[in-house]
Amino acid sequence: MLKHMNDNDCHAVGFFTYDAFITAAKSFPSFGNTGDLAMRKKEIAAFFGQTSHETTGGWSGAPDGANTWGYCYKEEIDKSDPHCDSNNLEWPCAPGKFYYGRGPMMLSWNYNYGPCGRDLGLELLKNPDVASSDPVIAFKTAIWFWMTPQAPKPSCNDVITDKWEPSAADISAGRLPGYGVITNIINGGLECAGRDVAKVQDRISFYTRYCGMFGVDPGSNIDCDNQRPFNEGSNVFLDAAI
């Protein structure tokens, strides 16, 4: 699956390991354990599809294809932006700390580090670097994001295991069950509604490759090109919005 993750061209050589992933996953009993075998495989394919894109070191014309270069990075390349929402008083930024993307899901912003740390029993606001220095914690942050609904968004787990039922507002916004809604959950404001089709397709490319390896159907509604992001209400999608 992750054919080039330990190539010298990758920045996370030796960091992400199978044992770290399994250890982290044990903290989330429902992760990869819901439904029949096909559904469980589909969830793992979807999780690695999204996280492979987030950590990709691939490029157009990369050896073996761009979708074989997942898990090359363990943190965001550009670290100049502190990703601190100073208006969020519930999860205030610690002095001098930056909350740029770290770990397989590239957990970002203080309002994600705060509740993630709370739920994992970690002081991630005070020590965000642990999310890219400890591989087990890195995977835990990614799986936490995957498993945790943040209203009005459902959890990625509920979507891929067919637990989520779209509301009337979701339906009018084009958000129907499928892998595309997971992309919308993760980065809909920047990629969905036709805003960055190339990145959406990259996420799909990883996912469908893994589904093929696992012998499972990727399902329908795998892109989010005609979906409004969750933070933009429920107005009917218009082509003019692209």
CA-CA distance, 5 to 235, in Å (whole number)? 41
Q: Which of 43, 54, 75, 76 is catalytic?
A: 54
CB burial of 128-149 (b: ≥16 within 10 Å; e: otherwise) equals bebbbebbbbbbbbbbbbbbbe
Cα–Cα separations (whole angstroms), residue 38 to 160, 209, 215: 11, 15, 8
CB 28 within 8 Å of CB 143: yes
CA atoms within 13 A on the CB side of 219: 22
- Which residues, 6 or more positions from 74, have their beta carbon under 8 angstroms from its beta carbon? 11, 12, 15, 16, 55, 102, 103, 132, 138
Look at residues 53, 2, 41, 60 and name the one whose alpha carbon lies nearest to residue 200.
53
Is 54 an annotated catalytic residue? Answer: yes
Burial class (CB in 10 A: 0-12, 13-18, 19+), 27: middle
Tell me the two tokens of residue 140: 């835990």
Question: Which residues is 75 bridged to in the sheet?
Answer: 102
Active site residues: 54
